[in-house]
Amino acid sequence: MKLEIAVVSAAGAGTAAAEGANRVELCSSLELGGITPSQGLMEASMEHADGRLEIHPLIRSRPGDFRYSASDLDTMAHEIRHLLAQGARGVVVGALTPSGEVDVQAVQRLVDSAMDANPKAQLTFHRAIDQSKDPLAALEQLMELGFTRVLTSGHEATAGAGLQTLTAMVERAGGALEIMAGGGLSLEDIPAMHAAGLSAVHLSAKKTVSTLGEGAISLGAQDGSDPTAYTVTDREVVRAARAKVNALNLAMPK
């Protein structure tokens, strides 16, 4: 089992690398579900990670749903080409139809963009699958499209609640595609994910930092939220997750 951490900064990528993560999903605005990171963030993250882990940027041109216009897809195709050219090992993509099925035409365009930029690029389908009508049917389509893995909470709000579906997805994939558990995943969930045969676990491993009380003035927030708050990667959570995964991997029968 491998460990992937979602990060929103170059420092986060460096922390994940230092604490032994195998991969990071790099994005911006995690509080919005994540959107595509800038080329500058990708470059800085490569420098901080210093080759110690794989960087897989999320390709999502806007927050909201996963029904994309031609303009959205054009933007994401450009993002894929640029980020892979910078050294990303793969990309994280996803698109759905209005009826909740994998948008094969849209996804094929994103896959083609990735393969044109780097034929060896890994392809991860993100948690759009958890908003699909039938995750097992979606999984079949992703295998046909040549995906490397899928990130999913098992069609539930959290991966812990979705364990039964996650197990069924592992069985259905049969090793042709990796199933990675993520979405509300706690450290306590990791042993069950390992026992179910999941290939990886994905955590945001974040904590909130605030400087409220230092004279901060709101610059537009109307909901009473802290205008100084932002998230960073929590080193201790990454370290604890790595320790759990290591212990489980070592306990596997030879």
Which residues, listed in sequence order, are joined to residue 96 by a DSSP beta bridge? 102
With contact defined as beta carbons under 8 Å apart, do 150 and 176 qualify?
A: no
Could you state, in order of their start, the residue ranges of all structural domains in the chain? 2-251
Helix axis angle for 10-18 and 235-251, nearest 10°, is 40
Closest of 182, 36, 23, 123 to residue 8, by C-alpha: 36
Range in 28-32, 86-90, 103-107, 195-199 with the lowest mean pLDDT? 28-32
Q: Please say if the pLDDT value at position 149 is more than 90.
A: yes
The mean pLDDT value of the chain amounts to: 94
The CA distance from 224 to 3, in Å, is: 35
Closest of 225, 191, 244, 170 to residue 21, by C-alpha: 244
- Residues 47-68 pLDDT 10s: 999 999 999 999 999 999 999 9
Sign of CA dihedral 130, 131, 132, 134: positive
Residue type for position 147: F
With contact defined as beta carbons under 8 Å apart, do 30 and 203 qualify?
A: no
The domain covering 2-251 belongs, at the CATH homologous superfamily level, to Copper homeostasis (CutC) domain (3.20.20.380)
What is the pTM (predicted TM-score) of this model?
Answer: 0.94
DSSP 167: H
What pLDDT score does 218 carry? 59
CA atoms within 13 A on the CB side of 115: 10
What is the pLDDT averaged over residues 139-157?
97
